[in-house]
A = this chain, B = another copy of it.
Amino acid sequence: MQKQAIFKITSQQLVADRIYELTCEGEQVLQMTNPGQFVHIKVGNFDDILLRRPLSIGDVNLNSKTFKMIYRVEGQGTTRLSKKVAGEEIDVLGPLGVGFPVEEARQGETALLVGGGIGVPPLYYLSKQLVERGVNVIHVLGFQSKKDVFYEEEFSKLGPTYVTTVDGTYGTKGFVTNAIESYKLECDLLYSCGPSPMLRVLNEKYKGQRAYLSLEERMGCGIGACFACVCHTSDDPEGTSYRKVCTDGPVFKVGEVVI
């Protein structure tokens, strides 16, 4: 299966402070059917930034063969990526990994989608698929501050959407868990993606339930060959059993791996 291809950038725009939305077009998009998967991007043609960068698939349009990534400018790689403009080409490896199990949610059930910061993007494509299946979705999106908030409107169109900010400049003050508690949000399933401290809390809170968490880890190959991205399994936390975030994940069932 051909997994690497040159895509064409159709648009790039700033959607919040240092947050960009990048849309690309290519045949490979037809394989991007599982939300929560990611792509491994070569951010430039130059050797100074050597390794690819993993970015989640944020939204997919199978008709126009385009997909969106939403990313925050962090370091050199994302800085250079943010300089690309429509019409330029980009080398995309993917879709990679195992995404969220959409099929676990049945029609009429309620799914809580909890995202933190740059963990928010994959939840959008997920939410769209869930809604299509007749699942009720509730979104809780956590950000640092008002200036960091993105995609609130888009999510609101799919279901109730609660935004939290750590500094209280927008929405509920505090963490996503504060919103879940204050609004007593109940659900049949939980899907989440975000920073490890957040996932760790959810991993505890939703233990034994139908909850799925998407992890981040620094990656080398992105395809399972280099062993850069492994984590311990919960049943053998000090031992040699492991999962690779890039191929076994990034999405794991709650309680499966040590976060």
Contacts and interface: CB of A to CB of B under 8 A. Distances in A.
A44 B47 CA distance: 12
A103 interface: no
7 contacts: A44-B46, A46-B46, A46-B47, A46-B48, A46-B49, A47-B48, A48-B48
Interface of A: 44, 46-49
Contacts of A47: 46, 48
Q: Looking at chain A's contact residues, is the secondary structure mostly helix, strand, loop, or mixed?
A: loop
Contacts of A49: 46
A47 B44 CA distance: 12
Nearest to A45: B46
A189 to B, nearest CB: 45
Contacts of A44: 46
Contacts of A46: 44, 46-49
What are the 7 tightest A-B residue pairs by CB atom distance, in nearest-first order?
Answer: A47-B48, A46-B46, A48-B48, A46-B48, A44-B46, A46-B47, A46-B49
